[in-house]
Structure 1
């Protein structure tokens, strides 16, 4: 059975509403409701897990790129020492 998340979620909502509306449990339909609900729940859970893993992978990659960029920022002319800049040595020495 290759139902989508939306279809499976709809089954769960329908069965939940059916059970809420009943003043007395309908034993004849209960087994069918439970079986369909369990199957729909498994489809939903599988899809949720897949989406979470995909998000973790996508966001984890983006976070790693941000960490890498912060740890090793690209060198620019502004970050390089300018010629003649003092490095703690005496500026009077010609070499």
Structure 2
């Protein structure tokens, strides 16, 4: 009887791209499984949550920067009138 190999939890990703790649990889792995890999499920979920948080934080930061840029642009256009 073979012992299942457990994946080691990876460090949280630092960039949006790295986090997004983790989410894509984990989603694909879960979709391809005929039977759930219970031995690695918690590791997969924990990695995915950490990756999601990185993506969410980055998206929120970009949204805030865009909002500020558009607000500044509107203010400049209003002052030019």
Compute the TM-score of the two structures, normalised by the length of structure 2.
0.81
Superposition misfits of 4+ residues, deviation over 3 angstroms:
none
Bigger RCO of structures 1 and 2 (CA < 8 A, at least 6 apart): 2
> Gapped runs of 5+ residues in structure 2?
1-11
Residue in structure 2 matched with residue 69 of structure 1 by the alignment: 80
Rg larger in structure? 1
Larger proportion of helix: 2
> How far does the alpha carbon of each residue in 1:36-90 deviate from its partner, in whole angstroms, 9 at most, with x for none?
00000000000001111111111110011112222xxxxxxxxxxxxxxxxxxxx
Shift in Å at residue 2 of structure 1? 5.6
Q: Using a 3 Å threshold, how does the CA distance of structure 1 residues 24 and 9 change in structure 2: closer, same or farther?
A: same
Compute the TM-score of the two structures, normalised by the length of structure 1.
0.70
Compute the RMSD of aligned alpha carbons.
1.1
